[in-house]
Each structure stands twice: as C-alpha cells, then as structure tokens.
Chain A
Amino acid sequence: MQSEIWVFAEQRQGELVEVGLELLGKALELAHPAGWKVASVLVGHASENALCEQLLSYGADEVIVVDHPLLGSYCSQSYARILGKLVRDYNPKVFLLGATAMGSDLGARLAARLRTGLSAHCIGLELSQEKKLLAVVPGWGGNVLARIYSPHTQPQMATVMPGVFDMPQEKEATGRIVPVDVDLNPEDVTYQILEVKREAGQEQALEKAEVIIAGGWGIGSREDWELVGDLASALHGMVGATRPPVDEGWAKENQMIGQSGRMIHPKLYIGIGISGEMHHMVGIQNADFIIAVNRDPEADIFKMCDLGIVGDFKEILPGLTKEIREKLQK
C-alpha cells in the first residue's frame, strides 16, 4: 500500500456511485504534482472484480479491495471497524468520501474512531504547499467561503458533495489491485437491512441535466410555478428550486439545489425569481452559463450571473416560452 490519498469507492448493488469516481479524479489531480499516489478503497462482497477494472481505468494507482461475505450489505459499524484497522495499518495522509447517505455516516464514524478531523459537505479541495488538505465549505451568509483543515491529525478527512468535480477521463489502466484480508464476525454487523425502496420516476437526476430552470421565492404562487415548468419543458430541461418553493410545496425536496440539496453542473442554468443567497449559489457554481431573471435590480444573483435580465418573470416567461417553441418548430 503506497498511496497517500485514499478515496472510498462507494458501491450500490454492484455499481460504483459516481461521486467516488469524481473524487478519484480530483484526488489524482491533487496527488500527482505532489508526488503522491491515489488508492480507491472498495468494500463489499462478490461484485469486486469488474469494479476494480473500472476504478483502474479511471486512473487509480491502487485499488484496495476488501471482500468479505459479511460486508455485502452496508453497516456503518462493521465498515468503520475494518476501514479503521486498514488506516491504522497503512497510514494514508488523506481519506476522502462522497457526502452521500453512506459516505457521511461512515466518514463520521471513521473520523471518531481515528480521532481525526473531518470537513463535511465540502464544495472544493486543495492541497497546500505543506501538503495539508484544505477543504472548502460555505461560510456564514454572504459570499464567503472557509478553508477547513486538520493540521495535527491524520488522516485528514473530508466528505465532498456529489457533482462538485467532473468525472475523470477513462484511460489505459496502469494501477494495481491490492486485495486485503480482514477479520470480521457476525456480531460486528450490528443491523440488518430488511428492504430497500427506490422511488420510481426519478432516475433522471438533476446532477446529470444539461439544462436546468430553477425558481425561487420570487415566483410567489403554485400557479405561477407552472411558468417555470413550461419554460423547462420548451427547452427540454429539468426544473430546480431554492429552499422556499420546496417548503411551500411547489417543488419537491429532490429538486432543491444548493448546499443542503443538489450540486449541479448544467451547460445552461436559468434562475427565475431567485435572489442569489449563498447556499443556493454554491450549488450552481459549476454551471457553464448562468442566466438570471429577477425584478429587483439589487438582487445578489446579478453579481454572479453571465446574463441578467431585470424584469418581471410573469411578463417575460410566457412570451419567451412561446418564442422558443416557435423557433424549435422551424
């Protein structure tokens, strides 16, 4: 085990979760100029061979594989136990996980077990001259971000929001697979998953959309919320939201974009009636082009967009949607 950065390669039902690959790509970008190597850490049972090849093709220098019949189903206590032992045995300097349901839970336990610091829900990662991991998290209000680090403990840990980093390019595999044996008893698995329910009709995730039209508090009513949907359907895009429309019930929880929602990177983002509060704006920082429509010329979003239209969306959207449909028919 030679790698200084370890990245948890989360899998769900035998498939790699994208954030593990996004993090692998970012870790490689940070590690190689510093003369470090990167390992993907794969934990599970029986589905590992194909996944190892995949991780190598995304550039992992090493794939650490922990295969055990008792690890087939996720349990925070057993996973933290075996990963804690591996980290103590091999002393990586950095350990990264996706800020998913599993990654957040596992990362928290693992950090407590190792008594090290973990920066949660990060939206950026840097490696300092002194090779300290600096994790970027949104600060309190305003346009301020904070860099968090753990200068005195190791490994330096972070969970990173899915969708913050791009997927790495596939290339010819040059890394190696390192299988590891672990001791685990049935009593180490402290809960049983009886059933997994997936909601239907949500397979197309906001994180993958190329065009997203998002609405905010300024939309004002459920009736007018439909204008957002109309524009989205004309542009073959998806509808996103800030927190208030979700709280009002105009939009669903899984449509929420931002620090406590989705991190998106569409080619085109249009924000309607959105003032531009930081916890939303961090979620759209990776959009290629940001258009904002807002009645208030002082709205913060006008400082952070590519094209801003000062005007009432109720007067602009219906005509715009019509014109787009007409252009598309030509």
Chain B
Amino acid sequence: MRIIVCLKPVPDPKHWSRLALDPKTGTLIREGIPNIINPLDRKALEAALQLREREGGEVITLSMAPPSAMPVLREGLAMGADLSIFLTDSAFAGSDALATSYIMGTAIRKLARYDLILCGDQTLDGSTSLVSAQIAEFLGIPNLMHVTAIEVQKSGVFHVRSQIERGSMLVEIKAPLVLSVAKEINEPRYITLMNILEGEKKEIRVWSSRDLSLSEPWVGLKGSPSQMADLFIREAKRKVEILQGDRSEMTKILADRLHRMGYC
C-alpha cells in the first residue's frame, strides 16, 4: 500500500505573539518564527505508519511551505516515513485553500500510484479544514473527514469510522481515497535519538513549480479566490458593570440579580 501523508509546517503556538498579518494581502507574516508539524497531521502520519506495519508498503509525506520550513520535515522522516516531498516555490506564496489543494493534488498526481492520502482535520493556523476534501475533488476520488478508525477490509476496500454530529458512522469506501483524521484517532509515537539519526539518512525531495504541470493562474496569491476585505474590532455592546468586594457581598449581589432576572 502506498500512503501519502500531508504534513503542514505551522508556526509554533509558543511564538504566536510574534505573528503579524500582511496588511496588503491579509496573509500571515511568519518569517523567523519556528515551525512545528501541525499536531493533527502528526496523527495522520501515525495512522499511516500503523497501516504500513499491518499491511506493508510505503509512507510518503507531502508538504508545501517556504524553504525555511524544511528542517521540520525531518521530524516526519524520524517518525518513520520513507520519503519526504517538499513543494516550495515563491510562486506558491499566498495560496489559499483552493490553490494549495490544486498544487498538492497536482504533486500527488505526479506520484502516479497511491492508495490512501491522509491529512489532519484542521490546522492550527488556517483552520479552514478545506484542503483534504478539495484534494479529493481535484483527484476525482472519494473522501471522508473526522476519521477515528481505519481498517483494511480486503485489498483496496476500507472500513472507516467518521464522526458526525452527536455520533459517528461506519463507511465502506474504496481506494484510492482521501481521509482526514480527528484528534481521537491515536497518540503519535515518541521520537528517539535513534529515530532522528535514521531520519537524517532519508531523502527530502524538493519540487518547485517547474517540476509540476501546473496551470499558472491557479496558484499563489493570484490563483486564490478568497481575499481578506478588512479587519475590524468587534463592538462590545455590553453593559460592562464590574463589581469588586468581599465574598458575602458579591454572593448576595449575584443572587439578587439572578432573582430579579427571574432565575430564582
């Protein structure tokens, strides 16, 4: 089985206070901020590694980011991925979910043979949760989101559990397919020093737009239909009455207020 895992380098939440928005494009300025692998994408990778352990095959990670994010891709290789493909090009900058999905989908198509594509349900930074379903649409293959369990039923047929409102559904679905995983699916393995050393020996293959047969108007900022119109501050149309005092006084004031409002 050949599994492709989409790993997104995202700014480390510990440094979010240093993030700024580009006032012109509305995209994030993230230069100089350390990256981590998006936590749910690590779970997607863990799910892929577990499937490889049971079924055999190959796990390839696929990432798109500025060149500075390259070191973090070693982490996926240290966890156990066989190969990392890194899509990086200044032409990709400013891509929204649609343009990103198109570029990722085109890269996957270049790999020709694949059974399963795994993503995380959402990322820490963008959180639009669009990319997995949009990659599937570009490739013309089925997809499921919010996945908590993946079983191979027989060759090319999966039984997948997917969360829905107040419950879950069990779905029979055929390869090739795209699944995005929920946080409940697993706990990713720890990386040992030995794993890190093994990861260093593996290949990170860098692809730019020249390596992919992309249609130019569909990538980067120009190929991104979604734009930010403006930022604004919410008006707090609240009464903002703040009281401070000793405990019995505060308790009494609250109880009286709730009484007058008809709650007791």
Q: Which residues of A contact B (CB under 8 A)?
A: 12, 75-77, 80, 100-102, 104-105, 108-109, 111-113, 115-121, 128, 132, 134, 139-141, 143-153, 190-199, 202-203, 205, 211, 234-235, 254, 259-260, 268, 285, 289-291, 293, 297, 302-312, 315-316, 319-320, 323-325, 327-328
Contact = CB atoms under 8 A, between A and B. Distances in A.
B243 A308 contact: yes
Nearest to A141: B16
A256 to B, nearest CB: 12
A104 B129 contact: yes
B261 A289 contact: yes
A146 to B, nearest CB: 5
Given A192-B172, A235-B258, A199 B225 contact: no
A147 B232 contact: yes
A306 B239 contact: yes
A278 to B, nearest CB: 9
Contacts of A132: 229
B242 interface: yes
Given A254-B166, A289-B261, A307-B257, A76 B142 contact: yes
B79 interface: no
B130 A120 contact: yes
Contacts of B143: 76-77, 105, 109
Contact of A291 (B141, B252, B254): B254
The secondary structure that dominates the B interface is mixed
Interface in B178-236: 218, 224-234, 236
A146 B171 contact: no
A303 B240 contact: yes
Contacts of A291: 254, 257
21 contacts: A76-B133, A76-B142, A105-B133, A109-B136, A115-B218, A117-B226, A121-B128, A134-B229, A146-B232, A193-B169, A193-B170, A194-B171, A285-B234, A302-B242, A307-B243, A310-B242, A310-B244, A311-B250, A319-B251, A324-B258, A328-B264
A196 B255 contact: no
Contacts of A194: 159, 169-172
Nearest to B16: A141
B172 A119 contact: no
Contact of A305 (B133, B167, B240): B240
- Give the top 6 A-B pairs by smallest Cβ distance, nearest first: A117-B225, A108-B133, A117-B226, A190-B142, A112-B137, A112-B134
B142 A112 contact: no
B193 to A, nearest CB: 29
A211 B251 CA distance: 19
Interface of B: 16-17, 19, 21, 26, 28, 96-98, 101-102, 122, 127-134, 136-138, 141-146, 159, 162-174, 218, 224-234, 236, 238-245, 247-248, 250-255, 257-259, 261, 263-264
Contacts, number: 239
Nearest to A126: B229
A305 B21 CA distance: 28
Given A199-B166, A306-B241, 7 more contacts: A113-B137, A191-B172, A268-B258, A310-B244, A316-B254, A324-B255, A324-B263
Given A101-B146, A117-B98, A235-B264, A140 B19 contact: yes
A306 B236 CA distance: 10
Contact of B144 (A191, A234, A289, A297): A191
B238 A211 contact: no
B138 A112 contact: yes
A196 B251 contact: no
A190 B174 contact: yes
A101 B264 contact: no
Contact of A308 (B229, B233, B242, B252): B242
A311 B253 CA distance: 13
Contacts of A205: 166
